[in-house]
Amino acid sequence: MGFAYLGREILYRGRVFNLERVQIRLPDDRHVFYELVSHPGAVTLIPVDHAGNILFVRQFRVAVQQELLELPAGTLEADEEPAQCAARELREETGMAAEKIEKIGEIFLVPGYSSEYMHFFLATGLRPDPLRGDADEFIKVEKIHYTQAYDMVTQGAIRDGKTLAGLLLLKKYL
- 138, 127, 110, 143: which is closest to 42 by C-alpha? 110
In this prediction, the residues of the chain whose per-residue pLDDT falls under 70 are: 133-135
> Residue 116 phi/psi, 5° resolution?
-60, 125
> Residue 69 phi/psi, 5° resolution?
-90, 125
Q: What is the strand order of the sheet 53-61 is part of? A: 66-70, 53-61, 140-145
pLDDT attached to residue 133: 65
> Residue 90 phi/psi, 5° resolution?
-60, -45
pLDDT attached to residue 1: 73
pLDDT attached to residue 174: 84
The reported pTM is: 0.93
Fold of 42-173: Nucleoside Triphosphate Pyrophosphohydrolase (3.90.79)
**CATH 3.90.79.10 domain residues, the chain:** 42-173
Cβ neighbours of 139 (radius 10 Å): 18
pLDDT attached to residue 112: 93
Residue partners of 82: CB distance under 8 A and separation at least 6: 41, 43, 76, 103, 119, 121
